């Protein structure tokens, strides 16, 4: 009897190469900038033609299913070492002292008369980093290891601090149920995190680290993208009639978001140029500017309604586009990436014993 480990792939697939369905889902997360507008348009049409209110009951389960795949490869153990301390400390300072205040000031300026949009803007500033933080840092030739640590610490800290921040920054405009929001954060962040860790351990134990990384891991970001698209569809669909009655609403939401991301990029870039080397500076920019809009979107629509979620749906478009443009500007801002030089073989001397 063969002792070979069962394959994770359909019959006929090449070992070590993702199957066609896995490759399909792996590509989805790279197409968010296209999928989000399409889902918004479909939600608008569906909301005008159909009564989507019965789907409100599915919002929390869909949110958990959206966050769970994103956290399968999330490893809290990365937070316990002290590497990259300066860059990580700077990113956390921006994430929890500068960015939330910027979001609050913009919310007060643009949405003081609209509680739903106000709290949506606050949520855009509360949950730092996502899996794309690591990806964009890699694209720009930044310090990926530091970006991983920023992602882990940022999400763990936000899970603890976000209810208090919400009450402090938005409590005068909307009713913030601290217990209810804390329970939602628990369901949306910690439960998927535990399930994700269990999933990763089970799959690695069955298929081995190499096969898991090559054949299975690429599936999860795409599954999370499906959840994002579903939540955006619902967020727009549930408010379709209001959006049509106020055609300028989307533009009114987009302006403060453009200012929000422009300020965040400028502040993080300036801090990185003054205090860090090129690679750490790029990681700090993406570790503070990129927001975990998936979690914020789920909490918005579950606890505060579709108007709050609409802000975050538009934020997806702004965030992905601005992150892509920043990659192209990185060399101009921080100088070109230089590969470490290898010592010539003749110059290497062996010390006497």
Dihedral-angle region of residue 335 (phi above 0 means left; psi in -120 to 50 means alpha; beta otherwise): left
**Distance (Å, whole) CA 198 – CA 200:** 6
What secondary structure does DSSP assign to 41-99, as a single string? HHHHHHHHHS--GGGGGGHHHHHHHHHHHHTTT--GGGGGS-TTHHHHHHHHHIIIIIH
pLDDT (average), residues 220-247: 82
**Distance (Å, whole) CA 205 – CA 333:** 44
Between the CA atoms of 248, 251, 252 and 258, what dihedral angle is there, to the nearest 10 degrees? Answer: 180
Locate tokens 């217990």: which residue?
179
Please report, rounded to a whole number, the percentage of residues in the chain having pLDDT higher than 70. Answer: 90
b/e burial code for range 61-92 (CB count within 10 A of at least 16 → b):
ebbbbbbbbbbbbbeeeebeeeebeebbebbb
Contact 129, 137 (CB under 8 A): no
Read off the pLDDT of residues 244-302 as tens digits, 9 standing for 90 and up.
Answer: 888 788 889 999 999 999 999 999 999 999 999 999 999 999 999 999 888 888 788 77
Contact 192, 64 (CB under 8 A): yes
pLDDT (average), residues 180-200: 83
Give the residue, 324 or 77, on which the prediction is more confident: 324
Read off the pLDDT of residues 100-135 as tens digits, 9 standing for 90 and up.
Answer: 999 999 999 999 989 999 999 999 999 998 777 887
User: What is the predicted pLDDT for the residue at 125?
Assistant: 94
pLDDT (average), residues 12-27: 68
For residue 304, name the pLDDT band (cuts at 50, 70, 90). confident
**Distance (Å, whole) CA 280 – CA 274:** 12
| Structure-block tokens of residue 286 | 């993406």
**Distance (Å, whole) CA 249 – CA 255:** 10
For residue 7, name the pLDDT band (cuts at 50, 70, 90). very low
pLDDT (average), residues 2-15: 45
Q: In the CATH hierarchy, which fold is given to the domain comprising 20-329?
A: Na+/H+ antiporter like fold (1.20.1530)
Locate tokens 């991983």: which residue?
148
pLDDT (average), residues 141-151: 89
User: Is pLDDT above 60 for 151?
Assistant: yes
Between the CA atoms of 122, 123, 129 and 132, what dihedral angle is there, to the nearest 10 degrees? Answer: -120
User: What is the predicted pLDDT for the residue at 10?
Assistant: 44
What is the average pLDDT score of the chain? 83
User: Which long-range contacts link 19-28 to residues 24+ away (Cβ below 8 Å)?
Assistant: 19/215, 21/219, 22/215, 22/216, 22/218, 22/219, 23/218, 24/222, 25/218, 25/219, 25/221, 25/222, 25/223, 25/225, 25/226, 26/218, 26/219, 26/221, 26/222, 27/222, 28/221, 28/222, 28/225, 28/226
User: What is the predicted pLDDT for the residue at 340?
Assistant: 56
User: What is the predicted pLDDT for the residue at 337?
Assistant: 77
């Amino acid at each position: 009897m063969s002792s070979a480990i069962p394959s994770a792939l359909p019959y006929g697939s090449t070992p070590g190469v993702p199957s066609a369905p896995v490759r399909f889902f792996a590509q989805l997360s790279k197409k968010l900038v296209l999928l989000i507008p399409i889902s918004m348009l479909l939600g608008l049409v569906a909301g005008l033609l159909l009564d989507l209110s019965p789907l409100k009951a599915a919002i929390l389960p869909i949110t958990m299913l959206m966050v769970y795949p994103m956290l399968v490869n999330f490893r809290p153990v990365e937070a316990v070492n002290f590497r990259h301390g300066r860059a990580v400390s700077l990113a956390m300072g921006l994430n929890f002292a500068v960015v939330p205040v910027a979001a609050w000031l913009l919310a007060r300026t643009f949405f003081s008369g609209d509680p739903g949009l106000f709290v949506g803007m606050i949520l855009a500033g509360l949950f730092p980093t996502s899996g794309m933080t690591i990806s964009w840092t890699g694209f720009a030739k930044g310090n990926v290891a530091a970006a991983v640590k920023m992602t882990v610490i940022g999400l763990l800290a936000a899970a603890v601090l976000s209810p208090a921040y919400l009450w402090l920054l938005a409590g005068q405009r909307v009713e913030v149920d601290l217990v209810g929001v804390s329970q939602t954060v628990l369901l949306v962040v910690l439960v998927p995190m535990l399930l994700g860790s269990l999933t990763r351990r089970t799959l690695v134990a069955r298929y081995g680290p190499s096969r898991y990384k090559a054949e299975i891991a690429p599936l999860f970001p795409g599954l999370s993208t499906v959840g994002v698209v579903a939540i955006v569809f619902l967020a727009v669909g549930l408010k379709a009639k209001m959006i049509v009655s106020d055609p300028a609403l989307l533009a009114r939401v987009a302006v403060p978001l453009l200012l929000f991301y422009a300020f965040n990029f400028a502040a993080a870039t300036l801090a990185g140029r003054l205090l860090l080397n090129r690679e750490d500076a790029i990681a700090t920019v993406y570790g503070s500017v990129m927001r975990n809009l998936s979690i914020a979107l789920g909490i918005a629509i579950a606890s505060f309604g579709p108007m709050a979620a609409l802000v975050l749906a538009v934020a997806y478009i702004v965030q992905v586009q601005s992150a892509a443009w920043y990659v192209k500007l990185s060399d101009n801002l921080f100088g070109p990436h230089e590969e470490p030089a290898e010592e010539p073989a003749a110059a290497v001397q062996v010390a006497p014993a």
